[in-house]
Amino acid sequence: MKKYLLNLLSFLLIGNFLFAQAPDKMSYQAIVRNSNNVVVSNHAVGMRISILQGTATGTSVYTETQSPSTNANGLIAIEIGTGTIVSGSFSSIDWSNGPYFVKTETDPNGGTNYTLTGTSQLLSVPYALHSKTADKAKTTDSSNISKVAMSALNGLPSGGKNGQSITICDGTPTWTFSGQCPAKITAFNCADTIHSGTLYKTILTTGFSSSITYAGGNGGVYAAQTIASTGVTGLTATLAAGTLNSGNGRLTLTISGTPTSEGIASFTLVIGSETCTLQRTVLATPPSPTWPLGTVFCNGTPTAVINVTNPVTGKTWMDRNLGASQVATSSTDAAAYGDLYQWGRKADGHQCRNSGTTSTLSTTDQPNHANFILSPNIPYDWRSPQNDNLWQGVNGTNNPCPSGYRIPTNVELDAERTSWSQNNSTGAFNSPLKLPLSGYRNNTGGSLNLMGSYAYYWSSSVNGTNAFNLYFISGNAYISNYYRASGFSVRCLKD
C-alpha cells in the first residue's frame, strides 16, 4: 500500500467552483497530490466538505461526505450539495451573509480517516444562489441565469469556461477542454518553408499550400486560423485545427483567393507566443505555354495553364481539364467539363464534344481529320492495328498537353485518388484538382453520356487492348480500364 505523509503543508489542493443554473449545488474540482508533490492518479478518496461562515475557522453551516475517484491527472470532480449530508442544509445557506469558506478534508485511501485538509475562501458569490437567499429576486433574463461565477483558490487560474477542466500543462494547472493542453512551440523556422504552386496577379488561386517548420512543440492542440494577406491583398491562408508534434514538426497552410497585384503577400501565423510571417511572391502574368503543332482549340481559346499542387502526392497539375474554360465550382459545373479524347489521339478536333463522326478506322497515328472515330467491334480502338506507344511521356506521340506537361500514368492517377478525403465524386471535387463529373463519349455511336453523374479520366498506361482510366461516381472511385475508342477527359500533369 502507498504511504501518504500526514503533513498538511505537503498536500496541494487546487480547486475551483463552477456555479450551475440550479441553485442547490455547485461543482467543485481539485487535484490531489501526495507528500512528494506527485498526483494521486486513478484512486478512490474519501472526502468531507464543509461550508464555513465568517472565517477559515468559522462555524460550519453545512457538512457532507463524498467518495470520488481521481482521474489520470489526479483530478476529482464533485458537486457540493449532492453528497451524504452530515449537518445543515445546502439550499438554506444565506449566501448574502458571507464571507464563506470551503473546507475539504481528504482520506487518500478512500476511507474516513481525513488526514489531508485544505480551506479556501469562496471569493465570488454565485448569482443564482445569492439572488435566492438575499433578495428572492425572480428574473427572466437568461443571460443572468446562465452566468458562471468562479473562484481562484490556492493558485487555480481564473477564466475557465463551461465544459473545461483543470489539466497540468507544462507543469502548470491550465483550463482545458477534454484534457488537451493548448499548443506551444519554442520557435518557428520561417526560413524553412516549402511552397506549392505559382501565384499570379488577378488569377484565382486554388489548392496551393505553404508548409512551415517549428521546434519545441508540446503536443498541444491549436485552433483553426484564417489569415488575410497584407501587402498584396486578396489572398487567404487557412490553417486547419490540429495537434502539434512533441518536438519538431510542420504546419501546412492552404493558400486561396485572387491576388490583386504583383509583389509580396504576407501572412502572420501565431502559435502560442511565437509568430512567423509567411511570404508568398505574386507574379505579374503566367508564361505563355507552347502547344503541339496543329492543336485545335474547340472554343477558339487555348486552355489556361495554371498550376495546382497536391501537397499529399507532391505532384503539380494543370488546375482544369483540357478544353475547360474554368476551374470547377462544383462536381456538375459544365464549364469545367472540358473535351473528350479518344485514347492516344492528338488534339486534332475530334475531342470537341460536337465533332462529327466516322466509321472508318485509322491506319496511322494521326488520321488527318477532326472526326470522332466510331469502333463498335473488338478491340474497340480507333486505330487498326493498335499502337500501344502513344501518349508516352512529355515527348510522347500525340501528347495533347502543353509544353512541359503530359498524360499521367495509371499509378499517378491512383495516387491522387488515394489522397482524397472521400473515395467518390465528392472527394474528387474537394481535392486540389477539383475534378468534375464530365461524362464520356460512346465509342459505338458517338453520343455524349452521363454528364454530371459519371467521370472517366485517361491515363497513358495500356492494359491489353484497353487503356487504364480513373473512374468515379457519387458512390465510388477506382482505377478501371476501357475501350480506347471511347471519349474520356484529360488532366495534364507537369513533368
H or E, element range at 432: none
Cα torsion through 301, 302, 303, 305, rounded to 10? -140
SS3 state of residue 344: coil
State the pLDDT at residue 167: 65
CA dist 479 and 229 (Å) reads: 39
How far the first Cα of the chain sits from its last, in Å, is 68
State the pLDDT at residue 461: 98
What are the tens digits of pLDDT across the range 299-336? 999 999 988 989 899 899 999 999 999 999 999 999 99
State the pLDDT at residue 94: 85
Alpha-carbon dihedral sign for residues 359, 364, 369, 373: positive
Q: Is the pTM of this model over 0.85?
A: no
State the pLDDT at residue 159: 52
C-alpha distance from residue 400 to each of 342, 394, 405, 416 (Å): 11, 9, 9, 21
CA dist 307 and 317 (Å) reads: 6
Instruction: Read off the C-alpha cell for 317.
Output: 497539375
b/e 368-404 (16+ beta carbons within 10 angstroms → b): eebbbbbbeeeebbbbeebbeebbbeeeeebbbbbee
475: left (phi over 0), alpha (psi -120 to 50) or beta: alpha
State the pLDDT at residue 162: 59
State the pLDDT at residue 259: 95
State the pLDDT at residue 13: 37
State the pLDDT at residue 198: 87
Q: What is the DSSP string of 339-404?
A: --EETT--SSSTTSTT--EE-PPBSSS--SS-PEEP--STT--SBSS--S-SS-STT-TT--SPTT
Q: In this structure, which amino acid lies at residue 236?
A: T
| Ordered per-residue pLDDT tens for the chain, 495 residues | 343 333 332 233 333 344 333 346 777 877 777 666 677 888 899 999 999 999 989 999 999 999 999 888 788 888 898 999 999 998 888 887 888 888 988 888 889 988 888 887 775 444 344 444 444 434 333 333 222 233 333 345 555 555 556 666 766 666 666 667 888 999 999 888 999 888 999 888 877 889 999 999 988 889 899 999 999 999 999 999 999 999 999 999 999 999 999 999 999 999 988 999 999 999 998 777 899 999 999 999 999 998 898 989 989 999 999 999 999 999 999 999 999 999 999 999 999 999 999 999 999 999 999 999 999 999 999 999 999 999 999 999 999 999 999 999 999 999 999 999 999 999 999 999 999 999 999 999 999 999 999 999 999 999 999 999 999 999 999 999 999 999 999 999 998
CA dist 442 and 461 (Å) reads: 20
Fold that domain 187-283 belongs to in CATH: Immunoglobulin-like (2.60.40)
SS3 state of residue 130: helix
Domain locations along the chain: 8-177, 187-283, 288-495
CB-based contact 320:335 (threshold 8 Å): no
